[in-house]
Amino acid sequence: MSKTPLERFISYAKINTQSSENNSNETPSTRSQFDLANLLVEELKEIGIDDAEVDEHCYVMATIPSNLSTTEFDGVDVPYIGFLAHLDTSPEVSGEGVNPQIIENYDGGDIVLPKDPNVVIRLSENPLLSKCIGHTIVTSDGTTLLGADNKAGIAAIMSMAEYLQTHPDIPHGTIRICFTPDEEIGNGTKYLDLDKFNVKYAYTVDGDLPGELNKETFSADQATITIIGRDIHPGTAKGIMVNSIRILADIIARLPKDIAPETTEGYQPYIHPYIVEGGVGKSTLKLLLRDFRTPGLDELKKILEKIVEDVKKIYPKSEITIETKFQYRNMHDELEKHPEVLENMWEAVIRSGIEPYWKPIRGGTDGARLTEKGIPTPNIFTGGTNFHSKTEWLSVNYLNKTVETLVNLVQVWVEKSRK
């Protein structure tokens, strides 16, 4: 290939594509996502995919036409398959000036990041690092996130595309590629034209370490609590001031500590306060509500409503409101209706020499919304982990396995479609 998956990843990681909660009414929420989108269109055309384009909302689409008419599989009817990854990185940690660090032949132990020695990738917190001895590992320099979520997925899809273009003997049906904006703020499929995407099944390449496959996500809502107080000069505030910051702190203090991201795992739900804004006169708190059982979201909302009700009694001069917003729903039930999309992914991983396993995603992907809209879309690993943090890391050896898995997957679809 003209560029290795590592070379592609490094070039993509250096482009700041953070999405923005504060500008979530626009798509993309940050114009810088076009910088990566335009580069990808250029690279797709360079490898011979002439219909590559980016639209006004920053969705990149491209087609690798079927080559079955030139192989022994001429006449085999293979459904159109899509591969997706997202352009943006998390707004929670800086993506400005990402400076990837390459550790060749990793020899084990903790990894101290060079620009901030207080940021350490600890083996005790990352036991899978012990399986990466001898690998090439990529990290940030400790001042930003790395961006493997989801630029590793983009690099894998681009590398697959180039490999198929330069190996016409590998049989495959029509493949559609899509890179989406604003996935990290829940808007990845907001303006995705499904008729134009035109696939029967799809796969997001947005997962964790090798072998991990995902057919379950949280069901998710967002809650916003708004507190209206009353501001006045603190020197004459007695009996008049209503400090919304104190009220907000009281609400946060009452959130159940055993239903938080830092105290839960597996299928356990959580309430996660993640953005606080405001002053004395008005404050807002945004929270993520997550539960694998969709009815569980109503239970989490009732917990918040009870907290607000109790706090209102303490601060009767305040105004406190809760607004909830739909985000996505668990894709499990719909995916189980389409076993072929799961079985073929499983087989592709086995052919790559990796032992696959199912793991629920304690988060979401564009695949959750696509599955809900009628395109079954499970999730494939990328080789990275510790996403949304300065301790994010990527195994290049595992990224290469992701590419291998994608190449195997398109062939499995051909073979399984043969009558």
Active site positions, annotated: 88, 183
CA distance 65 to 49: 9
Which residue in 69, 36, 65 sits closest to 51, CA to CA? 65
CA distances 47 to 51, 55, 160, 407, Å, are 11, 20, 11, 16
Half-sphere exposure for 49 (CA within 13 Å, toward CB): 29
258: burial class by Cβ within 10 Å (0-12, 13-18, 19+)?
A: exposed
Are the C-beta atoms of 410 and 399 separated by less than 8 Å?
Answer: no
CA distance 356 to 24: 36
Which residue in 264, 265, 229 sits closest to 247, CA to CA? 229
Q: Quick one: how far is CA 150 from the chain centroid?
A: 6
Structure tokens at 319: 């105004």
Which residue in 376, 406, 346, 349 sits closest to 172, CA to CA? 406
Q: Give CA torsion, residues 208, 49, 64, 212, to 10 deg.
A: 0
Which H or E run contains 414? Answer: helix 396-417
